[in-house]
Amino acid sequence: MTDTPHRAILLLHGPNLNLLGQRQPQIYGTTTLDEINERVITRAQASGVQVIALQSNHEGQLIDWIQQYGPEIDGILINAGAYTHTSIALRDAISGLNKPVIEVHLSNIHAREPFRHHSMIAPVCVGQVAGFGWRSYLLALDGLLGHLGLLES
């Protein structure tokens, strides 16, 4: 019997996502962050993948976690919130990781205010999923697992 390698992904949530379920439910829905995490963790476990789910309202903390967990993980799902549109530092951290990253958004950022149409991090990610509410996370997870060759058919 051979041991299979431990597989893990980092699920990062940026600013204000701790308020999901309360904040602007007409845009972001009524599903809480804990509920999203539970759904992603359950789906990932079915493919033998551990999820490390973290949220911060601080840009530097998100970067610290990318650097801290980078060597241990296979990839990242990230909803950087407003930092999507402003953070060169977060982009540089993702770029330096050399692991696949998928950008996630609950709302369709391209159908909202013009300042949300540009993502600083999209060019250094393998993909972007936006506009499907909490399901965006599961679609992104399936994309990442497929990219890693870990998705069970």
Residues identified as active-site: 28, 105
Structure tokens at 39: 């759904």
Considering its fold, how many domains does the chain have in total? 1
**pLDDT score recorded for residue 1:** 38
pTM of the model: 0.92
What CATH code is carried by the domain that includes residue 80? 3.40.50.9100
Residue numbers of the domain that contains 139: 7-147
Structure tokens at 78: 């990230």
| pLDDT tens, residue by residue, 105-150 | 999 988 887 878 889 999 999 999 999 999 999 999 999 999 999 9
CA distance 75 to 98: 9
Q: Is the pLDDT of residue 152 over 90?
A: no
Task: Flag whether 44 is in a domain.
Answer: yes
Task: Flag whether 1 is in a domain.
Answer: no
Task: Flag whether 123 is in a domain.
Answer: yes
pLDDT higher for 151 or 73? 73
